[in-house]
């Protein structure tokens, strides 16, 4: 990989941003990340990279910036001269997007437009990855969904992602920019934020098993999702930008499971009967839920040779084991 490969990542401190940084650094890239001043305390996922003297300040650089601040974004582009931008940042909690719709749409929608405009003005060509989401489909007419399934979002977050996804297509078609939408289904790992349901369940199963918590309160157990393994999905992002043509790709396992399935598997991993510990709290229910979200990843499998490396059962077990290790460190 030549030294000329320079990636700029928005959302570098998140689950996906941290795995992507590792992948790109392993592949010889210089990696620049945009971080908010207020996100200081949330850098635990890239702390191991920041502490590595051979990496931080040598091939990994962090820039303070905010996605609402176009001037600063332009300056970061000028300083880093990226050949690829991975736009992952923004408020990504679907339930929360009903509480804070305006800022969610600003971050997931308008910020993408702002970055596309900066990319369009670059003298050297820059490849652009946009983190789209299965939430653009919402109340779908067909299952599984493909790249041509019509968008019908059911949340403010889904609406903002639908806007940004279509804009990315417009910039590809109208200006010839190398822009890819990765339409990613849920992807999880031990680095998932604690307020997403998989991490919440895995963490609670481990803590209850070790006597640190008494119960777990959840919303809708019957919701179904197509859950994959985050490092696999990050690899898919990179593969999209290596292809000769920019395009949109669904990234999914093609299987869907209920929240109840996840709960059962997580509690089974610690040999506990889940029914004794799981309670319902309607405040975690959402005003609307997408239905039948399950993706058909045939296109990325055939075109780019991508495939997932973990089964659902392996994913649940890995997440619970990571939580058990975290609990052991506390004790």
Distances 117 to 77, 87, 114, 163, 179 between C-alpha atoms, Å: 12, 13, 5, 15, 12
Tell me which of 80, 132, 133, 223 is the catalytic residue. 133
Please confirm, yes or no, whether 133 is among the known catalytic residues.
Answer: yes
149-208 residues in contact with ligand G4F (CB under 6 A) are 184-186, 195-198, 200
Instruction: Examine the residue annotation and report whether 157 is marked as an active-site residue of this protein.
Output: yes
- Residue list 108-137, contact with ligand G4F (CB under 6 A): 133-135
Question: Smallest distance, Å, CB 149 to ligand G4F?
Answer: 14
Rounded to the nearest whole angstrom, what is the least distance from the CB of residue 220 to ligand G4F in the complex? 5
DSSP class per residue in 115-164: HHHHHHT-SS--EEEEEEEGGGT-B-SSSSB-TTSPP---SHHHHHHHHH
Q: Taking CB under 6 A as the criterion, which residues in 226-255 touch ligand G4F?
A: none
Residues in the chain: 331
**Is residue 98 a contact point for ligand G4F (CB under 6 A)?**
no
* Catalytic member of 19, 129, 157, 229: 157
In the 3-class helix/strand/coil scheme, how is 166-226 assigned residue by residue? Answer: HHHHHHHHHHCCCEEEEEECCEECCCCCCCCHHHHHHHHHHHHHCCCCCCEEECCCCCEEC
Options 210, 260, 286, 292; binder of ligand G4F; rule CB under 6 A: 286
Dihedral class, residue 89 (left if φ above 0, else alpha if ψ from -120 to 50, else beta): beta
x/- contact string, 255-284, with ligand G4F (CB under 6 A)?
Answer: ----x------------------------x
Shortest spacing between CB 16 and ligand G4F, in angstroms: 9
289 makes contact with ligand G4F (CB under 6 A): yes
How are beta strands 228-229 and 127-133 bridged, if at all? unpaired
233: annotated active-site residue: no
Interatomic CA distance for residues 106 and 123, integer angstroms: 27
Looking at the Cβ atoms of 46 and 218, the one nearer to ligand G4F is: 218
What mask of x and - would describe binding to ligand G4F in positions 58 to 97, judged by CB under 6 A?
----------------------------------x-xx--
Angle between helices 197-209 and 312-330 (to 10 degrees): 50
Q: Which residues contact 81 (CB under 8 A, 6 or more apart)?
A: 6, 124
Nearest distance from C-beta of residue 257 to ligand G4F, angstroms: 11
Distance CA 71, CA 40 (A): 21
CB of 59 or CB of 199, closer to ligand G4F:
199
For residue 37, what is the DSSP state? G
Which residues are catalytic, by number? 133, 135, 157
Binding interface with ligand G4F (CB under 6 A):
92, 94-95, 133-135, 184-186, 195-198, 200, 218-220, 223, 225, 259, 284, 286, 289
């Amino acid at each position: 990989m030549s030294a000329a490969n320079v990636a700029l990542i928005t959302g570098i401190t998140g689950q996906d941003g941290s795995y992507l940084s590792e992948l790109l650094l392993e592949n010889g890239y210089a990696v620049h990340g945009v971080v908010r001043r207020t996100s200081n305390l949330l850098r635990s996922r890239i702390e191991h990279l920041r502490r590595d003297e051979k990496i931080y300040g040598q091939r990994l650089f962090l820039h303070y910036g905010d996605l609402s601040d176009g001037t600063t974004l332009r300056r970061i582009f000028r300083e880093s001269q990226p050949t690829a931008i991975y736009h992952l940042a923004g408020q990504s909690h679907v339930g929360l997007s009903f509480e804070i719709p305006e800022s969610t749409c600003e971050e997931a929608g308008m910020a993408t437009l702002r970055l596309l405009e900066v990319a369009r003005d670059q003298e050297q060509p820059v490849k652009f990855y946009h983190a789209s989401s299965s939430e653009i489909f919402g109340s779908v007419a067909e299952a599984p969904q493909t790249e041509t399934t019509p968008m019908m979002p059911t949340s403010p977050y889904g609406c903002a992602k639908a806007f940004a996804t279509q804009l990315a297509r417009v910039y590809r078609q109208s200006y010839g920019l190398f822009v890819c939408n990765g339409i990613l289904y849920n992807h999880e790992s031990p680095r998932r934020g604690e307020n997403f349901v998989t991490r919440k369940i895995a963490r609670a199963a481990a803590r209850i098993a070790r006597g640190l918590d008494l119960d777990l309160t959840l919303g809708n157990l019957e919701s179904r999702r197509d859950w994959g393994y985050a490092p696999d999905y990050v690899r898919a992002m990179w593969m999209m930008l290596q292809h000769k043509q920019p395009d949109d790709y669904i990234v999914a396992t093609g299987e869907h499971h209920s929240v109840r399935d996840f709960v059962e598997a997580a509690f089974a991993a610690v040999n506990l009967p889940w029914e004794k510990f799981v309670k319902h709290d309607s405040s975690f229910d959402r005003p609307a839920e997408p239905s039948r979200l399950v993706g058909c990843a045939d296109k990325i499998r055939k075109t780019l040779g991508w495939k997932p490396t973990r089964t659902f059962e392996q994913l649940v077990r890995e997440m619970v084991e990571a939580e058990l290790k975290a609990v052991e460190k506390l004790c």
